[in-house]
Structure 1
């Protein structure tokens, strides 16, 4: 098993290189990049001054920029080199811990991401803890109380939550609880006077701002995790080994918790790795509605603004988390199911 996980970890670097190389190539060919934006701004400035584009010398004709200025722009944004050379230049900086400089904020990419790390980690970890902490026991209870009133009413609530998109629910929650009732803030991660509060008041303020966004984060994952747990537990409760255990004198409760439950945790452990990457990315739609300055909102803003260094930084980190999460999932599966031996 040790050799298997060692091979999986050694496969992470080449996989990351493949993912980032594909994304880097796409950024080189997608129109509307930073070069085009700089040329457009120069054209607008030239037109407002009545130049009519005459400021462009040979090589930059019609762009409002001279040939030397165009060459400087290409060098600044890294478009003066062939794609593969520029990629390995970016990769060399990455190895040294340098994710580049944002073309929008004129600040290091790592600084922009690290400023939003606490927010994304807070919502990501809280969502995972609440989801697994509630959905697993609820799924077990629904399986044991199948076709009872508890199972029926909880299924209605779970499916209603799953049917409503998180961002649509967020708009309704803001309208009712923030605008109409005034119970919760309109958005943000903390109040503007946060630094003046005591430690307890700071905790209350963060919770106050987090209630509505967390509801939106949780509605979708609740149904999937709950029903995954319920359905697999019911399948295992109907398996032959359960009837054999009960026939040999093991109580039904003991057979469920010591045999069926452990086997039912395998699909939960399998999907755990996919959820790890959500700690970083989150949901840009929910972050937009609640004005949460997280990494998800930063990523979609970088795509729309063609801020390619930020895009590459977020792609690298989210891919790394996903690959590590898959390794963790394999470890959890081996821990839950002793029959599995990785060779």
Structure 2
């Protein structure tokens, strides 16, 4: 098993390099980078000067920065070198723990990410606990009561939630419970007077701000896990070994929980490691809707503003988490399925 894990850890290196090379090259050729943004800002400033009475030539209006200034900006952001050379220079800094400086805020990227990790972990861990804690029992109950009124009713509810994106649910919840009824806050993670509250008040305030975003997170996550649990359990219940066990006198309840359930958990265990990166990264649109200053909102704003160092920094963390999560998935499968041997 140790040899297998070591091989998988070594496999992370070429996979990680492939992911980062692809995204790094894309960021170099997609228009609208930091230099273009500065030119647009300079043009906007010139336009304001023109409205205030300053006379501008047509040449100045078309190109507010000189060629020397543009070359200096390219040198500052590393755009003056070939793509692969820039990539290896960037990767060398990453290996030293430096993932760059934001081109929008001019703050270290790691510092910006570190501030938002606790918020994303908070929502991610609670979401995963609730999803696994509710979907697995619900899937088992739906499989045992297949085609019953309970199964049909819950299927309609779960599919309805899956059909509507989580961020749309978030908008609807905000309109209904925040704007119309004023039960929950309109957004944010804490209130403005959070620091003035006592411990109980702070906990209550965080919970108060958590309810609506958490509901939006959970709505779309229930369907896949619930029906995966139900369908795999139904397949195992119809298998010959379960029929044989029941024919030998084992009760249906024991056949479900002692024999069929463990085999049915194998697909659930396979997806467990992949959810590790989702725990940290959160949802871009849900965090945008609720104005939650987590990793999702940071990534969304970085993409919109072409803040490439932040985009690449988030990519480094998320890709490493996903690759390590795949190893955890294999370990989880081995724990659930005794037939799997790491040899």
Interval containing the TM-score (normalised by the shorter chain)? over 0.9
Q: Provide the residue aligned with 1:282 in structure 2.
A: 282
Closer, same or farther: CA 164–66 of 1 in aligned 2, 3 Å: closer
Q: Provide the residue aligned with 2:302 in structure 1.
A: 302
Closer, same or farther: CA 176–41 of 1 in aligned 2, 3 Å: closer
Q: Provide the residue aligned with 1:234 in structure 2.
A: 234
For 1:201-240, what aligned pairs fall within 5 Å after superposition? 201-240=201-240
1:306: Cα distance to partner? 0.9
Closer, same or farther: CA 176–44 of 1 in aligned 2, 3 Å: closer
1:109: Cα distance to partner? 0.4
Please state if 1:52 is matched with 2:57. yes
Give the unaligned 5+ runs of structure 2. Answer: none
Please state if 1:252 is matched with 2:252. yes
1:54: Cα distance to partner? 5.4
Please state if 1:111 is matched with 2:78. no
For 1:154-233, what aligned pairs fall within 5 Å after superposition? 154-233=154-233
Equivalent residues of 1:53, 1:64 under 8 A apart: no
- The alignment's TM-score, normalised by the length of structure 1, stands at 0.94
Equivalent residues of 1:170, 1:212 under 8 A apart: yes
Give the whole-Å Cα distance in 2 for the aligned partners of 1:69 and 1:174. 46
Give the whole-Å Cα distance in 2 for the aligned partners of 1:140 and 1:12. 35
Per mean C-alpha deviation after superposition, the further-off stretch among 309-318 and 38-47 is 38-47
Deviations along 1:13-58, one digit per CA (max 9) or x if unpaired, are: 22111111111111111111111122233344445353436569xx
1:147: Cα distance to partner? 2.1
User: Which SS does the other structure have where 1:338 is aligned?
Assistant: coil
> How many correspondences in the alignment?
338
Equivalent residues of 2:285, 2:300 under 8 A apart: no
Q: Provide the residue aligned with 1:10 in structure 2.
A: 10
Give the whole-Å Cα distance in 2 for the aligned partners of 1:195 and 1:269. 41
Give the whole-Å Cα distance in 2 for the aligned partners of 1:50 and 1:299. 40
Equivalent residues of 2:185, 2:209 under 8 A apart: yes
Deviations along 1:204-257, one digit per CA (max 9) or x if unpaired, are: 111111111111111111011111101111110111111112223322222211
Please state if 1:123 is matched with 2:123. yes
Give the whole-Å Cα distance in 2 for the aligned partners of 1:193 and 1:278. 31
1:166: Cα distance to partner? 1.1
Give the whole-Å Cα distance in 1 for the aligned partners of 2:147 and 2:21. 52
Give the whole-Å Cα distance in 1 for the aligned partners of 2:179 and 2:22. 45
Deviations along 1:145-196, one digit per CA (max 9) or x if unpaired, are: 2222222222222112112221111111111111222111111111111111
Deviations along 1:52-89, one digit per CA (max 9) or x if unpaired, are: 36569xxxxx5322333222211111112111111111
Give the whole-Å Cα distance in 1 for the aligned partners of 2:143 and 2:22. 44
Give the whole-Å Cα distance in 2 for the aligned partners of 1:176 and 1:46. 44
Give the whole-Å Cα distance in 2 for the aligned partners of 1:55 and 1:63. 5
Give the whole-Å Cα distance in 2 for the aligned partners of 1:326 and 1:110. 24
